[in-house]
Amino acid sequence: MSLQSSFIQIFISHIKREFLINFRSLVDVISIISFMILIVTLFVLGIGPFEEKLALISNAIFWIGLILAIIPSLEKTLQRDYDNGWLDQTITSPTPMELILLSKSLAYWLIVIIPLLISLPLFIVLLNINLKLIPWLLISILVGGLSISLIGIIGSALTLGAKRGNILLPILIIPLIIPILIFGVGISEAVRINESPLGNLFLLIGFTLIYLVISPFISAFLIRIAISR
Amino acid sequence: MFDWLANPNRFNRITEKIQPCILFITIITLISGLYFGLFDSPKDYQQGDAVRIMYVHVPSAWLASFLYFSLAISCVFYLVWKHPLADLVSSSIAPIGALFSALTLVTGSLWGKPMWGTWWVWDARLTSMLVLFFFYLGYILLSNAFERKIDGSKTASVLAIVGLINLPIVKFSVDWWHTLHQPASIIKIGGPSIDDKMLLPLILMIFALSFFSLYLIVLNVKTKLIEKKCEALLLKSNLEEISKTG
């Protein structure tokens, strides 16, 4: 019991720490949202201002914008702690690295994905997304965002200390997150053509659960390799 | 068995004997497979002579997936039992697997031109093969991205294992995506019924390319072993020189 409660305390304190670090530089969140707006703008400029065309692909644009805007920020999640030696210190502590990494990815989810949800009305207006999609979009971003942050931690741990890590990260990450895009767009598409989106939603949840289980272990393993250098 | 093979000297001794056999089988099956495939098999009633692309396309698609599986398995051996030879094996498999997946994409595209009228169709199988190619590419890039080689091989091995978990999901999701979006029916290569005369060259070519890639992998591992030996010798001579000059 005491072990459990101490684990929960550690967990909460790590999430608090991430919050403190990230909210002292709100620039990150703002830059992600503006990057996403710019990606959407590029798409619309490339396609042309045709309402019918946009209505068909607005869901896809939204999801691609979301994924592309998040990827550059993933690299920093561990790199900063690696550079200033925080990871070297915590790996010697009795706290399991897996727990710290799980709290890190949850904190990332809270810090990056939740603000994106706040900006959702903006994208609904910009992309002319149907209003009945909103609850499904909320759920799918919440679930899909969790799996993106879980996979992102793996990607960030993979490129820790690598040469040209910032270019390598998208190449490694994008093949892994293809299912999120397919299921995420599938949810919105199913709603758009008046079918039940539950099948896609359950698949997305299942995918996220798999990574919820394996991601902390894999990234902790990778960090032990990186620290032993 | 793997423990026993993991000794580099023993590996060298055994492969010395096996390698000519592998090469022999490769040549025999390749020549007979190509002969039966190109000259002594019927044209498809729909696809005509283009069906002969299948004799390269299907074996390389099969090999691309199989080689990824063996790559990930040998990465598991490397990470769990820390056999240095397992790392050499996986780093030798990677470029060959990448080449076979690229070959699958190229032959699929060549086959697609007369069949579908375009070089590229976002068919479910082609798309998942493209993703597989990027997994190979990620492995190769990551294993070369570190200052020390051992860091690269460890990290890339983890990536290969993550890929092994993720690839079936990608394959499934791409199939899922395809059934949702694709209304038109597409001619599938190798349906449930296939003529015996077509099956023979197909099986021969599968054997030929499998043995060919086995031969290349063994050759690659041997080259890497020699490279390692050269490095060790160089290091040794450098150390001796340093100790001489004091």
Neighbours of A112 (CB within 10 A): 23
The partner residue sitting opposite B173, judged by closest CB among A159, A183, A218, is A183
The partner residue sitting opposite A158, judged by closest CB among B147, B155, B169, is B155
Q: How far is A136 from chain B (nearest CA, A)?
A: 18
* Dihedrals phi, psi of B115, to nearest 5 degrees: -85, -50
pLDDT of residue A148: 92
pLDDT of residue B183: 46
Reduced to 3 states (helix: H, G, I; strand: E, B; else coil), residue A123 is: helix
Reduced to 3 states (helix: H, G, I; strand: E, B; else coil), residue A160 is: coil
Which residue range forms the structural domain that includes residue B99? Answer: 20-184+205-239
**What count of Cα atoms within 13 Å lies in the side-chain half-sphere of residue B181?**
18
Two tokens, residue B218? 């063994």
User: Range with the lowest mean pLDDT among A56-70, A185-199, B41-55, B194-208?
Assistant: B41-55
Partner-chain contact A162 B146, CB within 8 Å = yes
Neighbours of B146 (CB within 10 A): 23
- Contact criterion met (CB below 8 Å) for A126 and A36: no
Residue B148 in domain: yes
- Contact criterion met (CB below 8 Å) for B185 and B124: no
pLDDT of residue B137: 93
Residue B9 in domain: no
First-to-last alpha carbon distance for chain A, in angstroms, is: 37
- Contact criterion met (CB below 8 Å) for B157 and B87: yes
- How many domains does chain B fold into? 1
**Predicted confidence pLDDT, tens digits, chain B (246 residues):** 556 666 777 888 888 888 888 888 889 888 888 888 788 777 766 667 777 888 888 889 889 999 999 999 999 999 988 888 888 899 999 999 999 999 999 998 888 888 777 888 787 888 889 999 999 999 999 998 888 888 888 999 999 999 998 888 888 888 878 776 554 444 454 454 566 777 888 888 888 999 999 999 999 999 998 988 898 899 999 888 888 876
Instruction: Give the CA dihedral A151, A152, A158, A164, nearest 10 degrees.
Output: 140
Best B133, B174, B180 residue to mutate vs chain A (most A CBs within 10 Å): B180
Q: State the alpha helices, DSSP H only, in chain B.
A: 2-5, 8-38, 54-81, 84-116, 124-143, 149-181, 196-245
Spatial CA neighbour of B178 closest among B243, B124, B129: B124
Q: How far is B164 from chain A (nearest CA, A)?
A: 11
Spatial CA neighbour of B220 closest among B62, B101, B98: B98
* Dihedrals phi, psi of B44, to nearest 5 degrees: -80, 145
Q: Which residues in chain A are closer than 8 Å to B180, comparing Cβ atoms?
A: 186, 189
Per-residue model confidence as pLDDT tens digits over A86-128 = 888 888 888 888 888 899 889 888 888 888 888 888 888 888 8
pLDDT of residue A194: 81
Q: Which residues in chain B are closer than 8 Å to A155, comparing Cβ atoms?
A: none
- Identify the band that residue A51 occupies on the pLDDT scale cut at 50, 70 and 90: confident
Partner-chain contact A154 B162, CB within 8 Å = yes
pLDDT of residue B2: 59
Spatial CA neighbour of B204 closest among B63, B30, B21, B35: B30
pTM: 0.87
pLDDT of residue B184: 42
pLDDT of residue B67: 93
- Identify the band that residue A31 occupies on the pLDDT scale cut at 50, 70 and 90: confident
pLDDT of residue B187: 46
In terms of CA atoms, which chain B residue is nearest residue A215? B162
pLDDT of residue B186: 43
Which residue ranges make up each domain of chain A?
2-227
Best B87, B169, B178 residue to mutate vs chain A (most A CBs within 10 Å): B169
Residue B140 contacts A where some CB pair is shorter than 8 Å: no
Q: How far is B178 from chain A (nearest CA, A)?
A: 10
* Dihedrals phi, psi of A82, to nearest 5 degrees: -70, -45
Q: What residues contact residue A74 under an 8 Å CB cut-off, 6+ apart? A: A149, A152, A153, A155, A156, A169, A173
pLDDT of residue A152: 92
- Contact criterion met (CB below 8 Å) for A17 and A100: no
Burial class of residue B234, CB neighbours in 10 A (0-12, 13-18, 19+): exposed
Best A56, A158, A171 residue to mutate vs chain B (most B CBs within 10 Å): A158
